Structure 1
Amino acid sequence: MSDHDWAQPVPPPLPPGGAAPPPYVPPGATPQYPPPAYGPPTPGAWPPPAGPQAWTPPPRPGLLPLRPMGFGTLLWAPFRTLRRNPAPVFGTGLVVQLVSAVATAAVFVPLFVWVFGRVESASAADVDAILSGAVGWVILLSLVPIAISVVAGAFLQGVMVVEVASGTIGERLSFGALWRRAAARIWPLIGWTLIVGAIVGGVFALVVGAVIAVAVIFPDPATVLAVVLIAVAALLGLGVLGAWLGTKLALVPSVIVLERSGVLTAVRRSWALTNGNFWRTFGLILLVGLILSFAAQVVVQPVSFLGAILAMLLDPTVGEAYQAISIGTTVAALVLSVLIGAITSVVQAALIAVIYIDLRMRTEGLDLELERHVEARDAGRPTTDPYLPASEQGPVATWS
């Protein structure tokens, strides 16, 4: 027997019972399989999955995408707030602007009318006393519109935080619903606004008071000029410090409203959320502020400028026509200022809420919690408040 015969493999033996083995396939050959015994699937033969595996539609799109956002999305999201729910949002901003304007006019217009009437009928010796008393009354009565503006501004912040938060999960709240939810956190918001106003006003008064005191004690012009230059440099430095602190603490209103925190807890939360995201937050706030300021100037200033030119062309002698046109132009400019102010305040307050939600998505996975909340709500299952921290979650949602 040759070596080639020894190299051939031996087929396996038959299995017990006489059953035919599968076809023998030599090494290196491709096995051949018989066709399948079943035919193509019959339509409807497979039942659809049931229970937790059933298909559910994707979450309804809201104001913000449920994922960390890019710079462009963050930049334009506050402007979308007006378009998505314009009546309650713009209405709230307009009410706040009107309340502040009416309060200011109600305080100062009667005062100025009274002062001017007294000055016209007073002697030269009494004019200085009247003007000095008028300055004191202006300073005292200015606390009234300032207090009203503080309350109105804090309320607007609360409304816009609620609007952005509810809009992100696809809800569209009415005027009354927005106001009720914002009113529930109005006192901590007012407290925070008063603290910020007191600090800013106190620092400014301290610098100006120091300049006035030095000017009175050392009336030498060179000394006064040096003190003024030092004060300007100090104000610039304080401005830089204020921009840094303002950015780090910008999220305090959002934390107060959505996490139901006190002022001190909200300060710590805002400081922690902006860690590592300072320049992004500062850039957004600054850029949106510049856009709004430029838009306001483009709209309001041409009205005043064209009104002045029209008055001079129609009545160069500065008569009754000139005065009528000037009054009409002033009123039109004031109306436009109120409307633009309403838009500006709404967008700026909405921007802070948008930044807050984005930073929580980036650092805490809030986007996943919002997706679970929307899916559970649309499926009719019980939900919890998605914006509360995990340690404070309650059994029933306030946003569903």
Structure 2
Amino acid sequence: MTDDQQWQSPGDPAPQPSPSPYGASVPPPGPTAQPGPAYGVAAPGAPQQGWTPPPRPGLIPLRPLGFGTLLGAPFQVLRRNPRTTFGTALLVQVLVLLVAGGVVGVVSVLAFGRVAEASAEDRDAVAAGAVATVILSALVPVVLGLIASALLQGVLVLEVARGTLGEKLRLPGLLRLARGRIGALIGWSLLVTLAVVIAIGIVAGLVAVLVITVGEAGIVLGVLVGILGFLALVALGFWLGTKLSLVPSVLMIERLPLGAAIRRSWWLTTGYAPFWKTLGTQLLVSVIISTAAQVVTFPVSLLGGFGGALLFPNGADPDDPSGSIGVLLALNILVILVSLVLGAIGAVVQTAVTALLYLDLRMRKEGFDLDLVRYVEARQAGHDVPDPYASPAAAG
């Protein structure tokens, strides 16, 4: 058996570099440099090492994020801690659905039960009151949904922030971190909802005034104002929605007051690249989630709509309709369950991508990735260091 390297006894002198065909000496095999400290920083006096990428202790690499990372990391949030992320989102969706159905259902039964018992003279007035009562009862699930959505958003933002540092917390731990900030997040959600309702009400009121007061020409003007107003509201919504989309992340991670959080989100998204990157990434993720949901729910909804007709082409058995009723009920429950699962996945991914955009913009504008790297290195070395998210925010 032959070898390219000649054998040498332990006492012989070290081999000399062999000549290279390119005119330079080739060093002998074996280690030529001592390893330096982690993350590509060479020890004093040691030969320089090649570039080493920043550490990735958890969800994302600790550097400004590329577009591919921004698209892929939100789905990794689901895989990395599914019980806390997907489980919490699904639980919130189910609770809101049950409470909404229970409140509206009970109020509807009681209200329209009074209509059936009312006399013929009072039936119209009682029916109008019943409709108003049902509409008002529908506001309870809306408010509850806003509160539940704010709670879920706060938990998911903190999960992304802690996951970036390699931490994996359960729901109780995240709720402890969110203590004292859920109220501000709920207030922000109610403020956004109120602003949307007022904006829509202004456009709708202007259209109604034109139609009522101007006459036939007012109908044409009302339609034009309605179309232009709708387009203006959409454009304004995209602009303000992008500029203020980081408010929940600032509220939960930096724990700033609401006014300061609004100003900070505005500053982080200021500039051509930050604004369009934030808007484009959020829109693209929303389109991906919506398209996937449509692909999954369409056949299920089709099955729910035509499943009964396929199984019972001649209609339900008049003597025993329980079989067809049970099948239709099962199909509708399946549609609801699939919608709940997809809604939970969409809520996790949409919130995660916004939190990641917040971290990316801080890395690009403030060098926040260096703070995170220093924290991870010190923690791995066993030092007790302050939380990087608790440091004072840079002035915007």
Taking a change above 3 Å as real, the CA distance of residues 224 and 133 of structure 1, as seen in their structure-2 partners, is farther
Look up the match of 2:133: 137
- Residue 258 (structure 1) shift: 1.1
Q: Does the 8 Å contact 2:111/2:133 carry over to 1?
A: no
Give the SS at the match of 2:62.
Answer: coil
Q: Does the 8 Å contact 2:59/2:73 carry over to 1?
A: yes
Deviations, residues 114-144 of structure 1 (Å, cap 9, x unaligned): 3444455556655533332123113322221
2:263 paired with 1:261? no
In the alignment, residue 88 of structure 2 is paired with which amino acid? T
Taking a change above 3 Å as real, the CA distance of residues 48 and 362 of structure 1, as seen in their structure-2 partners, is closer
Give the SS at the match of 1:387.
Answer: helix
In the alignment, residue 129 of structure 1 is paired with which amino acid? A
Matches of 1:137 and 1:183 in 2, distance apart? 35
Q: Does the 8 Å contact 1:254/1:356 carry over to 2?
A: yes
Look up the match of 1:197: 193
Give the SS at the match of 1:330.
Answer: helix
Identity of aligned residues (%): 47
* Aligned pairs, number: 348
Taking a change above 3 Å as real, the CA distance of residues 328 and 129 of structure 1, as seen in their structure-2 partners, is farther
Look up the match of 1:383: 385
Structure 2 counterparts to residues 239-254 of structure 1, below 5 A: 239-254=234-249
Matches of 1:314 and 1:378 in 2, distance apart? 62
Give the SS at the match of 2:166.
Answer: coil
- Residue 382 (structure 1) shift: 1.9
Look up the match of 1:374: 376
Matches of 2:356 and 2:249 in 1, distance apart? 9
Deviations, residues 47-98 of structure 1 (Å, cap 9, x unaligned): 9999x9699xx85631011011111110111111000111111121112212
Give the SS at the match of 1:256.
Answer: helix
- Residue 206 (structure 1) shift: 2.3
RMSD: 2.9
Look up the match of 2:110: 114
2:90 paired with 1:88? no
Look up the match of 1:161: 157
- Residue 208 (structure 1) shift: 2.2
Pick from 265, 270, 273 the counterpart of residue 270 of structure 1. Answer: 265
2:305 paired with 1:308? yes
Matches of 2:94 and 2:179 in 1, distance apart? 19
Structure 2 counterparts to residues 34-49 of structure 1, below 5 A: none
Taking a change above 3 Å as real, the CA distance of residues 131 and 304 of structure 1, as seen in their structure-2 partners, is farther
2:232 paired with 1:230? no
Q: Does the 8 Å contact 1:307/1:325 carry over to 2?
A: no
In the alignment, residue 69 of structure 1 is paired with which amino acid? L
- Residue 377 (structure 1) shift: 0.8
Give the SS at the match of 1:142.
Answer: helix
- Residue 217 (structure 1) shift: 4.1
Unaligned runs of 5+ in 1: 1-38, 41-46, 393-400
In the alignment, residue 93 of structure 2 is paired with which amino acid? Q
Q: Does the 8 Å contact 1:93/1:156 carry over to 2?
A: yes
TM-score, length-scaled by structure 2:
0.80
Moved more, 128-137 or 113-122: 113-122
Matches of 1:130 and 1:316 in 2, distance apart? 41
Deviations, residues 228-282 of structure 1 (Å, cap 9, x unaligned): 3311220111111111010011111111111110111111111111112111110
Taking a change above 3 Å as real, the CA distance of residues 297 and 124 of structure 1, as seen in their structure-2 partners, is farther
- Residue 308 (structure 1) shift: 2.3
Q: Does the 8 Å contact 1:74/1:355 carry over to 2?
A: yes
Matches of 2:91 and 2:35 in 1, distance apart? 54
Unaligned runs of 5+ in 2: 1-12, 15-33, 47-53
Moved more, 228-237 or 374-383: 228-237
Matches of 1:81 and 1:142 in 2, distance apart? 33
In the alignment, residue 293 of structure 1 is paired with which amino acid? S
Taking a change above 3 Å as real, the CA distance of residues 261 and 53 of structure 1, as seen in their structure-2 partners, is same
